[in-house]
Amino acid sequence: MQPTPSPLHTRPIIGITCGDLNGIGIELIIKGLSDQRLLDLCTPIVFASNKVINFYRKSIPESTFNYQSTKELNRISPKQVNIYNCWEDDVAINPGVLNEIGGSYAVKSLVVGATALKEKKIHALVTAPIHKKNTQSAEFDFTGHTPYLKNVFGAKDVLMFMVADNMRVGLVTEHVPVGEVAKFITREAIVSKLNIMKESLQRDFGVDKPRIAVLGLNPHAGDEGLIGKEEEEIIKPAIKDFKQSASNVVVFGPYSADAFFARGHHEKFDGVLAMYHDQGLIPFKSLAFGEGVNFSAGLNGVRTSPDHGTAFDIAGKNKADEGSFIASIFKAVDIISARAEYDNNRKNPLKKMGDQLLAGAVDEKIEE
* pLDDT surpasses 70 at 294: yes
pLDDT tens, 267-285?
999 999 999 999 999 999 9
Mean pLDDT of 304-308: 93
Identify the pLDDT of residue 3: 39
The least confident of 3-12, 24-33, 79-88, 198-207 is 3-12
Identify the pLDDT of residue 356: 55
Domain locations in the chain as residue ranges:
9-155+299-368, 157-294
* pLDDT surpasses 80 at 357: no
**pTM attached to this predicted model:** 0.89
- What fold, for 9-155+299-368? Isopropylmalate Dehydrogenase (3.40.718)
Question: What is the percent of the chain with per-residue pLDDT over 90, rounded to a whole number?
Answer: 77
pLDDT tens, 104-150?
999 999 999 999 999 999 999 999 999 999 998 888 999 889 999 99
Distance, in Å, from the CA atom of 277 to the CA atom of 217, rounded to the nearest integer, reads: 11
* Fold match, 9-155+299-368 / 157-294: yes
The least confident of 19-28, 139-148, 191-200 is 139-148
The least confident of 78-87, 174-183, 213-222, 286-295 is 286-295
Mean of pLDDT over the chain: 90
* Position 327 confidence tier, pLDDT thresholds 50, 70, 90: very high
Identify the pLDDT of residue 348: 66
Q: Under CATH, which architecture does the 157-294 domain have? A: 3-Layer(aba) Sandwich (3.40)
